[in-house]
């Protein structure tokens, strides 16, 4: 039996980052992975979807070349080549993680891992061979998968999850997307941009329901303008896959409607991978499909930890990475600060992009806070107009008494690269006046942040 200081179960953005940080701190580390290094995010999530979305954006630019005084005749797409490029990007990134494992002298153990009592892990290979390993600390980072609804059972062909949506052999002519969170919306944008007829069905009153209502309404306008049909306050009650395509029965406020499509993409959330990994045998407590942990990701059983999607925090790659680093630094005896879950940025990479952090306007009002709200549209931004991307805005929310930056919400081209300003400023407890007096370069998309702050304080110049 091999002994380690730390064994990490799962190699996603939580697991592999935790393993590298542990190695940097001088610990002997092993990581266990049953599929490909990098986990879902790198192989079947964040990275390959962004590759698909980039292809869609380039295709859209080419189709609108005349808007820029250019000519691009006979523009077409090769769906197979687009998917192949996406898979190639993911494979390349996975090889990059393999390199990082070697560079940091981390033992990679391939197989299915289960935790046992006594700080042990049993790994079963594809051939069925079991090997036992022990460690002083075991970090569980097994992530999540596509959630299935009883009314929407996935068969991998006509009713699919995100994995199949990334690697379809043939582009569907008509697609129904159920759920309008980040996954559903990104695929809705991609397939619509590539020429598929897309219908989005959302149970709640607004698409991207976790976002500020102004952002949700703007995205709905942009999507409808692009030809995407949006059905909110709607519920899929039944699917019929007996024919050539799929018939989807949707309950709406006006009654039932039957939608016909080639494929249905179920994007209704995620299900954590906590079954059959030994939690019950060890006695690790779970609640509502999540492993319960303290501020430093320790479970109720000493020596066992959990990070990422399997814990109660937001199921985001950058959250998992941050949790992994905090967990390992605490294990190593460093002074580690608990993660501020109120300052976690969220990004959706459709077109226009969405990025946000902190409280929405509605949440701030529900807390009874006296607030100042500023909004600056990209239609008034020289850079956005010159780039041909005037849709969207930056919205900021401040505490009226103290100037605390309570929330920032953006929708527009490139905003996922802009939100970090708000995250860092909130971390440093920067006030609205300090942002207002920090000179922003012109012409840039980022100066819309300064302009939105100016609007909140009745000092806006360009609006």
pLDDT tens column, 439-455 = 999 999 999 999 999 99
Pair 325, 214 in one domain: no
CA–CA dist 218, 206 (Å, integer): 11
CA–CA dist 32, 108 (Å, integer): 6
Pair 323, 388 in one domain: no
CA–CA dist 224, 202 (Å, integer): 14
- Average pLDDT (4-20) is 96
Pair 85, 17 in one domain: yes
Cis peptide before 352 (omega within 30 of 0): yes
Pair 23, 85 in one domain: yes
137 as an active site residue: the answer is no
pLDDT at 157 over 60: yes
Q: CA gyration radius for the chain? A: 24
180 is in an annotated binding site: yes
Per-residue confidence (pLDDT) for residue 44, from 0 to 100: 80
Q: Which two tokens stand for residue 234?
A: 């709607």
Instruction: Answer yes or no: is 70 within a domain.
Output: yes
pLDDT digits over 400-432, tens only? 999 999 999 999 999 999 999 999 999 999 999
Pair 228, 288 in one domain: no
pLDDT digits over 310-359, tens only? 999 999 999 999 999 999 999 999 999 999 999 999 999 999 999 999 99
**Do residues 320 and 12 touch, judged by C-beta distance below 8 A?**
yes
Instruction: Answer yes or no: is 150 within a domain.
Output: no
Q: In the chain, how many domains are there?
A: 3
374 is in an annotated binding site: no
Pair 22, 127 in one domain: yes
309 is in an annotated binding site: yes
Domain of 227, CATH number, reads 3.50.50.60
Strands (E), 378-463: 393-399, 405-412
CA–CA dist 461, 463 (Å, integer): 6
Instruction: Answer yes or no: is 222 within a domain.
Output: yes
Pair 175, 56 in one domain: no
Between the alpha carbon of residue 421 and those of residues 93, 390, 450, the distances in Å are 27, 21, 11
In degrees, to the nearest 5, what angle opens at C-alpha 77 toward C-alphas 223 and 355?
35
Q: Which of 307, 341, 375 is the last residue of a domain?
A: 341
Strand partners, 249: 238, 258
- Average pLDDT (60-70) is 92
Per-residue confidence (pLDDT) for residue 463, from 0 to 100: 80
User: Could you tell me the pTM of the whole model?
Assistant: 0.94
Instruction: Answer yes or no: is 347 within a domain.
Output: no
Query: Which one of 64, 433, 442, 462 is the catalytic residue?
Result: 442
Question: Does an H or E element contain 225, and which?
Answer: helix 213-225
Pair 18, 138 in one domain: yes
Per-residue confidence (pLDDT) for residue 387, from 0 to 100: 92
What mean pLDDT value characterizes the chain? 95
Pair 141, 189 in one domain: no
186 is in an annotated binding site: yes
pLDDT at 229 over 90: yes
Instruction: Answer yes or no: is 154 within a domain.
Output: no
pLDDT at 1 over 60: no
Instruction: Answer yes or no: is 312 within a domain.
Output: yes
15 is in an annotated binding site: no
Domain of 384, CATH number, reads 3.30.390.30
Residue 90, helix vs strand vs coil: helix
pLDDT at 128 over 60: yes
Residue 266, helix vs strand vs coil: strand
Contacts of 271 (CB under 8 A, 6+ apart): 144, 145, 146, 147, 148, 289
181 is in an annotated binding site: yes
Pair 129, 193 in one domain: no
Q: What is the DSSP letter of 213?
A: H
CA–CA dist 148, 408 (Å, integer): 32
Pair 256, 282 in one domain: no
Q: Which of 341, 361, 390 is the last residue of a domain?
A: 341
Backbone φ, ψ for residue 233 (5° rounding): 50, 40
Per-residue confidence (pLDDT) for residue 46, from 0 to 100: 85
Pair 121, 261 in one domain: no
Per-residue confidence (pLDDT) for residue 39, from 0 to 100: 82
Q: Which range of residues forms the domain containing residue 307?
A: 2-145+271-341
Strand partners, 9: 32, 140
Q: Which of 341, 374, 401 is the last residue of a domain?
A: 341
């Amino acid at each position: 039996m091999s002994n380690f200081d730390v064994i990490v179960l799962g190699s996603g953005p939580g697991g592999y980052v935790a393993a590298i940080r542990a190695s940097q701190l001088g610990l002997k580390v092993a990581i266990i992975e049953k599929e490909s290094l990098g986990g879902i995010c790198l192989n079947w999530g964040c990275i390959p979807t962004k590759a698909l979305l980039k292809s869609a954006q380039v295709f859209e630019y080419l189709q609108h070349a005349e808007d820029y005084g250019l000519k691009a005749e006979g523009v077409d797409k090769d769906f197979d080549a687009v998917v192949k490029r996406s898979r190639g990007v993911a494979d390349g990134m996975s090889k990059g993680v393999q390199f990082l494992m070697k560079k940091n002298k981390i033992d990679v153990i391939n197989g299915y891992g289960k935790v046992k009592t006594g700080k042990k892990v049993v790994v079963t290979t594809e051939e069925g061979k079991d090997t036992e390993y022990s460690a002083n600390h075991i970090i569980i980072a097994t992530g999540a998968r596509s959630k299935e609804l009883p009314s929407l059972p996935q068969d991998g062909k006509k009713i699919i999850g995100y994995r199949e949506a990334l690697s379809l052999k043939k582009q569907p002519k008509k697609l129904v997307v159920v759920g309008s969170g980040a996954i559903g919306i990104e695929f809705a944008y991609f397939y619509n941009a590539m020429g598929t007829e897309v219908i989005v069905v959302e149970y709640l009153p607004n698409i991207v329901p976790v976002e500020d209502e102004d952002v949700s309404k703007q995205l709905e306008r942009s999507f409808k303008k692009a030809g995407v049909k949006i059905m909110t306050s709607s519920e899929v009650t039944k699917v019929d896959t007996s024919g050539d395509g799929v018939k989807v029965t949707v309950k709406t406020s006006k009654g039932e409607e039957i939608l016909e499509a080639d494929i249905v993409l179920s994007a209704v959330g995620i299900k954590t991978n906590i079954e059959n990994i030994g939690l019950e045998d060890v006695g690790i407590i779970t609640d509502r499909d999540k492993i319960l942990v303290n501020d430093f990701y320790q479970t109720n059983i000493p020596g066992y930890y959990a990070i990422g999607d399997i814990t109660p925090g937001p199921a985001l790659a950058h959250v998992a990475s941050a949790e992994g680093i905090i967990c390992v630094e605490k294990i190593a005896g460093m002074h580690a600060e608990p993660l501020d879950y109120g300052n976690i940025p969220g990004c959706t990479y459709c077109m226009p992009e969405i990025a946000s952090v902190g409280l929405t306007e509605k949440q701030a009002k529900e807390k009874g806070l006296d607030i100042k709200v500023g909004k600056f549209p990209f239609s008034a931004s020289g850079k956005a107009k010159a780039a041909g991307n005037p849709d969207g805005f930056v919205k900021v929310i401040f505490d009226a008494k103290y100037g605390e930056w309570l929330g920032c919400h953006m929708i527009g081209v490139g905003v996922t690269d802009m939100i970090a300003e708000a995250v860092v400023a909130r971390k440093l407890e920067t006030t609205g006046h300090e942002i207002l007096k920090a000179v922003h370069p012109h012409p840039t998309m980022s100066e819309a942040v300064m302009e939105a702050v100016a609007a909140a304080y009745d000092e806006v110049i360009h609006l």
